[in-house]
């Protein structure tokens, strides 16, 4: 569905010279996948998305999206993909159903077909009661559902969503996700979305692609990324003064990627805590170190980002600013 090679985009910015927003992205997405594109603000997420959806010409590199080249045949790409941007897609002052009909017409449907399809997507996203209203009178969640409805009018095989759930209350977020997942289940739509809610990417997407400073720095299932790049956190409390001894035993038994001793507390990072912890506790007991507490935590994608870049996603957000 998506095959990008060396995709790059430079921007000329006043005073700051040239900004390399995206520096050589290679990406392959197969049909039916649900991919979450993750990264701090300014990492190049939206720029990538805008190049893949023909809104922006790449400075260099190629991308074939839904079988068409984004530079040589942008119209071909546009006819085959759906796009839900960061901002609301329905125009102010236009009725909900009218906008859906116009959208269908824009994709070349006949007037009758566009009307029938508008009613269909209204039903699909549970927007029927809002058909004759204008976007300004809808709630945030309803507006976002309308955006998705607009992106689905022409039954695209591939749907891009830029921050589909940002700024919504938890209930509306869950609702939007319900619709996205159903879409994929029923129609096998390939979905490529950006988000900065790590938990969402973690629980919903089967594949997570992380971008930072214009480059893809990680790509895989959330579980694999966490196992390979971050690992579980293990915190063991022992008697005061025996922390150093406990750390030595950990090095021998568990082969941790990280060991921190803090008084009577030892913090470890290991690939798989569930199998390592019992063995470690037995070894401590055998060495006469009394264990007071033991705790394990699964890593988050934020830990993955930290392991990769040395800073957390949230810190990067603050530095980059909105």
Partner 1 sequence: MSGAAAEEVRKFLRDTGTVFSREFMPVLRGPVVLVFTMGQPLLFLFLFGSMLEGVRGGASWQWFVPGILVMMCLTGPMMAGYSLLVELMGGSLERMLVTPLNRVAMLVGRTLKEFVILLFQAGLIIVLAVPLGFRPSVHGVLVGLGLLVVFGVGLGALSFALAIASRPGGDLFWGVTQMVLFPIVLLSGLLLPVESGPSWLRVAAAANPVRYIAEAERALFAGRVADMSVVYGLLCAGAVAVVGLAIGTRAMRRGV
Q: Which two tokens stand for residue 79?
A: 């006819």
Contacts of 97 (CB under 8 A, 6+ apart): 118, 119, 122, 131, 132
Closest CA to 100 of 76, 77, 133: 133
Q: Give the binding-site size for partner 1 (rule: CB under 8 A).
A: 31
Position among 15, 87, 112, 310 found at the interface with partner 1 (CB under 8 A) = 87
Name the packing angle between helices 140-152 and 170-187 (round to 10°): 20
Position among 46, 65, 99, 117 found at the interface with partner 1 (CB under 8 A) = 99
Residue 299 CA neighbour count, 13 Å, CB half: 26
Give whichever of 147 and 232 is closer to partner 1, judged by the CB atom: 147
Give whichever of 102 and 296 is closer to partner 1, judged by the CB atom: 102
Site for partner 1 in 109-168 (CB under 8 A): 147, 150
Give whichever of 87 and 186 is closer to partner 1, judged by the CB atom: 87
Position among 48, 90, 149, 254 found at the interface with partner 1 (CB under 8 A) = 90
Residue 2 CA neighbour count, 13 Å, CB half: 26
Give whichever of 93 and 321 is closer to partner 1, judged by the CB atom: 93
11 sits near partner 1 (criterion: CB under 8 A): no
Between CA 29 and CA 211 the distance in angstroms is: 15
95 sits near partner 1 (criterion: CB under 8 A): yes
CA distances from 135 to 140, 147, 177, 254 (A): 10, 10, 21, 57
172 sits near partner 1 (criterion: CB under 8 A): no
Contact pattern from residue 35 through residue 64 relative to partner 1, giving x for each residue in contact according to CB under 8 A and a dash for the rest: ------------------xxxxx-------
185 sits near partner 1 (criterion: CB under 8 A): no
Between CA 97 and CA 103 the distance in angstroms is: 10
The residues that touch partner 1, with contacts defined as CB under 8 A, are 53-57, 75, 78-79, 81, 83, 85-95, 98-99, 102-103, 105-108, 147, 150
């Amino acid at each position: 569905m998506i095959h990008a090679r060396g995709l790059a985009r430079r921007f000329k910015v006043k005073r700051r010279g040239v900004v390399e927003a995206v520096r050589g992205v290679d990406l392959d997405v197969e049909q039916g996948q649900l991919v979450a594109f993750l990264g701090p603000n300014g990492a190049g997420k939206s720029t990538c998305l805008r190049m893949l959806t023909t809104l922006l010409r790449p400075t260099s590199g190629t991308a074939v999206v839904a079988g068409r080249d984004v530079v040589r045949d942008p119209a071909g790409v546009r006819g085959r993909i759906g796009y839900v941007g960061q901002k609301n897609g329905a125009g102010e002052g236009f009725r909900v159903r009218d906008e859906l009909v116009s959208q269908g017409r824009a994709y070349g449907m006949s007037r009758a077909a566009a009307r029938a399809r508008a009613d269909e997507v209204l039903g699909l996203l549970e927007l029927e009661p809002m058909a004759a209203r204008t976007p300004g009178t809808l709630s945030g969640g309803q507006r976002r559902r309308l955006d998705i409805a607009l992106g689905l009018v022409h039954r695209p095989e591939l749907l891009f969503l830029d921050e589909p759930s940002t700024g919504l209350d938890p209930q509306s977020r869950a609702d939007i996700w319900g619709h996205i997942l159903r879409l994929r289940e029923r129609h096998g739509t390939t979905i490529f979305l950006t988000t900065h809610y790590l938990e969402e990417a973690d629980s919903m997407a089967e594949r997570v692609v992380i971008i930072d400073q214009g480059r893809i720095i990680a790509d895989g299932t959330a579980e694999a990324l966490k196992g390979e790049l971050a690992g579980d956190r293990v915190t063991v409390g022992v008697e005061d003064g025996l922390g150093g001894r406990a750390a030595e035993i950990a090095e021998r038994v568990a082969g941790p990627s990280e060991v921190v001793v803090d008084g009577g507390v030892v913090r470890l990072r290991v690939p798989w805590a569930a199998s390592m912890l019992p063995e470690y506790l037995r070894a401590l007991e055998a060495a006469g170190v009394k264990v007071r507490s033991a705790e394990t935590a699964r890593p988050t994608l934020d830990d993955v980002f930290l392991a990769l870049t040395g800073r957390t996603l949230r810190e990067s957000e603050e530095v980059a600013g909105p």
